[in-house]
Structure 1
């Protein structure tokens, strides 16, 4: 029953990917967009894999570290943020909000400066020093917070979020902390967005 419901549920990413995709196709053309996304997803995959190794206290494979320097800059970028992260509770973990029928994959749940957060790792070639520069990412984090708090698979509650924007050139990442009030604001926006999506489909 739960599996069938999950298969029919809306994924959080659906809202954001389609809008971004159309914008990029206009800018790069279809072929250019396909090449761009292939490289971006490869970098993102390697970066997330390397972070998972760090949190699991494993040594990052030398091959992975030096592979054309693809992720070395990103890892250098987040070093100062990693110092403030402790007590990892979940990594690359599926979440499902049964009542609202949506699901997603959370990058990380851990404490940031003592506050339990849903942590979303982002890579960027452009500086994103302010939360508003992260577009819909805060909505995504709020959606994950809501899903975790309504998913019986998790025996804890989360009320904060953290979006970490890492840079390819190794410059210090921008961590954007979302306190409970801010998460609640974005949660309410997410509910409106979800309602609009459901009305259209």
Structure 2
């Protein structure tokens, strides 16, 4: 399914030109509803903290995300002792630990690995591909301050996971994966929420990804 479906008529392999990232495609094709919600949040943050303060907050958020991903990576590889995390990242780490107990590090298939789907023309870095509760799946680690108990609250995260799932399957024809999970870790340290996407849900989000990719091509004149 994932390796061969094309949103448009296309050659077997796309030219060796820089491929857009999954994040770039999703950002460029964001729905008006999502764009408006993001704009309202940014305006509220700027009103509260000022432009410079907001810029610092965003950089701090990115820094915490990088730190958490690095800690998870080390944990899964089991190649080095777990280093102490910063105070800002500690709550997220405590939050994600219960979910990590269900990830089989010995069966790790990919961690922070670049993926390229040269037929469809996109690339990205998948957080993790590993058995989760004994079932191999793509796993994306996310952070949040408020609980996200429904898939709807994840916005484009499931589409992102499906895009990585497709790229992984494209380059691993003999080790296909048909499920994904979005794990949301919380600043408060409360146990992370795990959203497991079934094969049917992954197919639906994959179809949405193909439409977003087609929209991106049309709007950027990529053929």
- TM-score normalized with structure 2 length: 0.80
Q: Which one has the bigger strand percentage?
A: 1
Q: What stretches of structure 1 of length at least 5 have no aligned partner?
A: none
Instruction: Specify the SS of the correspondent of 1:10.
Output: coil
Q: Is the partner of 2:153 in helix, strand or coil? A: helix
Q: Give the alignment partner of residue 158 of structure 1, picking from 177, 181, 185.
A: 177
1:36 alignment counterpart: 57
1:174 aligns with 2:174: no
Partner of 1:124: 144
Counterpart of 2:108 in 1: which secondary structure?
Answer: strand
Deviation at 1:199, TM superposition (A): 0.7
Q: Distance in 2 between matches of 1:169 and 1:146?
A: 33
Equivalent residue, structure 2, for 1:84 = 102
Residue 27 of structure 1 deviates from its aligned partner by 3.1
Segment of structure 1 superposing worse, 154-163 or 166-175: 154-163
> Structure 1 pair 32/155, CA: closer, same or farther in 2 (3 Å)?
farther
- Out of 79, 83, 88, the position equivalent to 1:61 is 83
Q: Give per-residue Cα distances to partners, 1:100-156, cap 9 Å, x unaligned.
A: 10000000000111111110000111110111111000000000001111125x752
2:63 corresponds to 1:45: no
Larger radius of gyration: 2
Equivalent of residue 5 in structure 1, options 13, 16, 20: 16
Alignment root-mean-square deviation, CA:
2.1
3-state DSSP class of the match of 1:43?
helix
Aligned residues of 2:26 and 2:212 also touching (Cα < 8 A):
no
Match of 1:196 in 2: 215
TM-score (norm 1): 0.88
When the two structures are aligned, how many residues end up with a matched partner?
194
Secondary structure, aligned partner of 2:120: coil
1:70 to 80, 88, 96: 88
Which residue matches 2:159? 139
- Asked whether 1:26 is paired with 2:37, we answer no
Cα-to-partner distance string for 1:139-176 (whole Å, 9 max, x where unaligned): 00000001111125x75211110000000110010000
